[in-house]
Amino acid sequence: MASLNLVALLCFGLVVLVNSYPSFSRHENQWTKLILTHHWPKTLCTMEEVSCQTADKFNYWTIHGLWPDKGQSCNRSWHFDVNDIKDLLPEMEIWWPDVLHPGTNEFWKHEWEKHGTCAAVAESLNSENKYFAKALDLYKKSRP
């Protein structure tokens, strides 16, 4: 009986340890804040050492991304679908343009798959549309 109690106590201790130790936690990608990042298109092209023909038309800071402070590529099975953000595309092309690959969805796909899938643990960001709409909303609030 004493050995059974000892085993039960050890199992309980292990459960407590696993749930309290960050690297074992079920929520190791749980973020606490979002970071709205911007970039200046022409500088981005210079830094990437590419010629961006469209960069000159953006003489303002554009959105680079909305990044949770923890986690990257949290759900590799949740692939980007541009149809989910069709209603946002006119604004996305103005405020969140892909100056490196104009005419494609590669930049938005990258941002969703790397950062959006982590942000999606919050109900208010749990879809592509909610994630990109929130980034646009925050960006517009940050503009002078």
Which one is catalytic: 28, 93, 111, 123? 111
Residue 79: active-site member: no
- List, in sequence order, every beta strand (DSSP E) within 46-122: 62-68
Question: Quick check: 114 and 104 in contact, CB under 8 A?
Answer: no
- The DSSP annotation for 21-54 comes to SGGG-TTTT--S-EEEEEE-HHHHHHHTT---TT
Which one is catalytic: 79, 115, 123, 128? 115
Which one is catalytic: 64, 79, 113, 123? 64
Q: How far is CA 64 from CA 24, 41, 79, 88, 100, in A?
A: 31, 10, 19, 16, 12
Q: How far is CA 115 from CA 9, 40, 74, 142, in A?
A: 40, 20, 8, 20
Catalytic positions: 64, 111, 115
